[in-house]
Structure 1
Amino acid sequence: MAKKLKALLIGDAMIVGSEFQLAAQKYLSGFTSEVKVSDWEPDWQKLQARRLEVEKKGPEIEEVDALIKAEGKDAELLAGLFLPISSKVFDAMPNLKIAGVSRAGLENVNVKEATKRGILVFNIEGRNAEAVSDFAVGLMLSECRNIARAHFAIKNGQWRKAFSNSSWVPELKGKNVGIVGFGYIGRLVAQKLSGFGVNILVYDPFVKPEDVSAAGATLVEKDKLFSDSDFISLHARMSESTKNMVGAKELGLMKSTAYLINTGRAGLVDEQALLSVLREKKIAGAGLDVFLDEPLKPDSEFLTLDNVTLSTHIAGTTKEALTRSPEILLEDISKLLQGQKPRFVINKEVLEQPAFKEWLAGVQQ
């Protein structure tokens, strides 16, 4: 008889634990003996502040969640969204075998320590890809066509016609759009822009050239992308190697009529260098959904600039992106437990560890 698992499902203000519970009932009911549910941070504003700090500094800065302290000792499966999954969590869950987050980012998971302890880590890709790619195109149009600025002016009793880019307000047709990072989101941006008649340039050192060509795009070096593009949209993963990958050098290569769009991670861009080129109007403008400090401080220079469109880290927040993600995660975990091949395992080497193989065989019987 197959072994049944105890699972802890810990949501937050963005995706509550009950959503994970519904997904578990759909995909894990045949594998679980007990399921405990809670929310790590149920306050929306506090969640935004805490998750940002975890993304900057890693999960070890947070204390262990109360449910994990109370129920984690004999649990073998842990799932959540922004829940910090640290070495302290692993200490409190000595029998843990699977840890999953229903997001693409892994900033809140200590993957290295999980691998060392034989814990298989899952994330998901594509949860908010449609949402973010839609938003990136929208932010591009809003910034270059002054949509948000015109709206703000009307709301404040002005019928504004003159803007900082009035002498070169662009159409998209025939323009070069540079996409930095050609994963799922980057490819969707390229696909959605194809109807505008743009030329797509791609910088991604990890992508296959034939995949770029198949998408109707051109693979180029980073310097060429920054010097030749009229719009640049950032979709690279955040890591030590990509931190501040867009700095003074790259921004200095951009045309004075070009726009930078960032719906990815704030850390991809040297924020002070960006403020400098915007202040001096060395580029036409920027559309930003992510910032090093969120929410922006009242004295942020971004609030004083007239050539930037700002949004509140909402690119990936749609009804569909939120409701589908627990199901994507727990369905993938269920594939593993059924003896099928899962899509989203991060540390595949754990699958070859003898202790994990023995445990999995007991679950799959």
Structure 2
Amino acid sequence: MVAKINTLLLGDAMIPGKDFETALKKYLSSYVDKVYVGNWEENWDNLQKRRLAVEKNGPEIEEVDPLIIEHGKEISMLLGLFVPVSKKAMDFMPNLKIIGVSRAGVENVNVEEATKKGILVFNVEGRNAEAVSDFAIGMILAECRNIARAHYAIKNGMWRKEFPNSDWIPELKGKTVGIIGFGYIGRLVAKKLSGFDVERLVYDPYVNEEDIYAADCIPADKETIFKKSDFITLHARLTQENKNFIGEKELSLMKPTAYIINTARAGLINQEALINALKTKKIAGAALDVFWEEPLPSDSELLKLDNVTLTSHLAGTTKEALTRSPELLAEDILRFFQGNKARFIVNPSVLEIPEFKAWLEGVVK
């Protein structure tokens, strides 16, 4: 081995830098020289506000982290979770070759700029897939069976028996569930729903129909999903192309006894259209873990509705999802250094850049 890598680890309140350091030592210690460890944002409430702003507007809205400014010229690899890696940040790291974020989304990384600069970007797909898929099914049951509403009533001295859907409270058996997005999470939701004996329709234009059939599900077009489903659960990424994917038209196609579940991204649904559908009872209800503004404003109309279940962006937050993800990231980078096929490279075109090839040869020779 000719060269070792100086590395900066920037965790946060959700996954601290020391957890990335533990993963680095376990998998990549033989490739690493100097290691600098810190946290981008240590306050939990601030982290939620800042990361949501970055996810909506991109990393360029944030100032460069002080540790990047201090050590940037030495750094060849940067690992973290929500730390914004903007063009400004990359300019402070002229020798940077690898960016790794231990999350599926890469909204906090300017991937286009990284590719231009010959920097390879890693993410971790499926790190919280088990957690989110569990939660989505829990939200289906909580909303249609009024679990949260009954709990709230009892805590407030009421023995409540009447609910907005009292005339059609459903069992899951025999119902149709529409799954929008068939990546890691969508596939796990389908698998876990199989035990409920439901029909599972899938809409994902990026997945081959054969793969959907192989999972014992039925591919369906968008209109069919909304017309036939008793429950629609969202598991797609938010892109410019699918922002407001669900609006007044789609909601108007749904049965008045149907429910929509969103544990993915709020921007997939038009907020005004959803609130109107709930207020006018065009649909039976919704269960939401993600919102257009977080925390949910105190004057939000959602708080006035009795046919919606609300949770505070909790779906992906389990002990296993958090502790597992830095190791998955470090393990994949190790796989790459050892000449094996990495699973989580975001911009593989960088692998063909001569300067990157030369750097990599110096690291793994």
TM surpasses 0.5: yes
Q: Describe the superposition over 1:226-272 as per-residue Cα deviations: whole angstroms up to 9, x where unpaired.
A: 01100000001110011110111111100000000000001111011
Alpha-carbon shift at residue 338 of structure 1 (Å): 2.0
Partner of 2:170: 170
**Unaligned 5+ runs, structure 1:** none
- CA distance in 2 between counterparts of 1:103 and 1:208 reads 25
- CA distance in 1 between counterparts of 2:356 and 2:292 reads 39
- CA distance in 2 between counterparts of 1:341 and 1:164 reads 52
Q: CA RMSD in A?
A: 0.6
User: Which residue identity lines up with residue 164 of structure 1 in the other structure?
Assistant: P
Partner of 1:129: 129
User: In structure 2, the residue corresponding to 1:99 is in which secondary structure?
Assistant: strand
Alpha-carbon shift at residue 72 of structure 1 (Å): 1.1
Partner of 2:12: 12
Alpha-carbon shift at residue 320 of structure 1 (Å): 0.1
- CA distance in 2 between counterparts of 1:109 and 1:249 reads 34
TM-score by length of 1: 0.99
User: Which residue identity lines up with residue 273 of structure 2 in the other structure?
Assistant: A
- CA distance in 2 between counterparts of 1:204 and 1:78 reads 33
Shifted more, 311-320 versus 340-349: the winner is: 340-349
- CA distance in 2 between counterparts of 1:252 and 1:82 reads 37
- CA distance in 2 between counterparts of 1:322 and 1:236 reads 21
- CA distance in 2 between counterparts of 1:340 and 1:283 reads 49
- CA distance in 1 between counterparts of 2:184 and 2:336 reads 23
Partner of 2:76: 76
User: In structure 2, the residue corresponding to 1:15 is in which secondary structure?
Assistant: coil
Residues 1:311 and 2:345 aligned together: no
- CA distance in 2 between counterparts of 1:337 and 1:224 reads 45
Q: Describe the superposition over 1:289-334 as per-residue Cα deviations: whole angstroms up to 9, x where unpaired.
A: 0001100111000100000000000000000000000000011111
User: Which residue identity lines up with residue 138 of structure 1 in the other structure?
Assistant: G
- CA distance in 2 between counterparts of 1:49 and 1:316 reads 17
Partner of 2:115: 115
User: In structure 2, the residue corresponding to 1:73 is in which secondary structure?
Assistant: helix
- CA distance in 2 between counterparts of 1:144 and 1:341 reads 43
- CA distance in 1 between counterparts of 2:33 and 2:26 reads 14
Alpha-carbon shift at residue 339 of structure 1 (Å): 2.1
Partner of 1:349: 349
- CA distance in 1 between counterparts of 2:362 and 2:103 reads 28
Q: Describe the superposition over 1:130-152 as per-residue Cα deviations: whole angstroms up to 9, x where unpaired.
A: 00000000000000000000000
User: Which residue identity lines up with residue 227 of structure 2 in the other structure?
Assistant: S
Partner of 1:237: 237
Q: Describe the superposition over 1:19-45 as per-residue Cα deviations: whole angstroms up to 9, x where unpaired.
A: 000000011110011100000000000
Partner of 2:64: 64
User: In structure 1, the residue corresponding to 2:178 is in which secondary structure?
Assistant: strand
- CA distance in 2 between counterparts of 1:25 and 1:197 reads 45
Between Structure 1 and Structure 2, how many residues are aligned? 365
Partner of 2:216: 216
- CA distance in 2 between counterparts of 1:199 and 1:337 reads 43
Partner of 2:159: 159
Residues 1:362 and 2:354 aligned together: no
Q: Describe the superposition over 1:164-216 as per-residue Cα deviations: whole angstroms up to 9, x where unpaired.
A: 00000000000000000011100100000000000000100010111100111
* 1:32-47 aligned within 5 A: 32-47=32-47
- CA distance in 2 between counterparts of 1:213 and 1:338 reads 35
User: In structure 1, the residue corresponding to 2:157 is in which secondary structure?
Assistant: coil
**Unaligned 5+ runs, structure 2:** none
Alpha-carbon shift at residue 335 of structure 1 (Å): 1.5
User: Which residue identity lines up with residue 189 of structure 1 in the other structure?
Assistant: V
Residues 1:194 and 2:194 aligned together: yes
- CA distance in 2 between counterparts of 1:119 and 1:144 reads 47
- CA distance in 2 between counterparts of 1:91 and 1:97 reads 12
Shifted more, 36-45 versus 334-343: the winner is: 334-343
Percent same amino acid among aligned pairs? Answer: 64
- CA distance in 2 between counterparts of 1:106 and 1:301 reads 31
Partner of 1:105: 105
- CA distance in 2 between counterparts of 1:222 and 1:61 reads 35
Partner of 1:92: 92
User: In structure 1, the residue corresponding to 2:172 is in which secondary structure?
Assistant: coil
- CA distance in 2 between counterparts of 1:232 and 1:116 reads 39
Partner of 1:51: 51
User: Which residue identity lines up with residue 249 of structure 2 in the other structure?
Assistant: K
Partner of 1:339: 339
User: Which residue identity lines up with residue 289 of structure 2 in the other structure?
Assistant: D
Report runs of 4+ in structure 1 exceeding 2 Å deviation: none
Partner of 2:298: 298
User: Which residue identity lines up with residue 280 of structure 1 in the other structure?
Assistant: T
- CA distance in 2 between counterparts of 1:231 and 1:111 reads 35
Alpha-carbon shift at residue 2 of structure 1 (Å): 1.9
Q: Describe the superposition over 1:328-354 as per-residue Cα deviations: whole angstroms up to 9, x where unpaired.
A: 001111122222221100100000111
Partner of 1:264: 264
- CA distance in 2 between counterparts of 1:118 and 1:140 reads 44
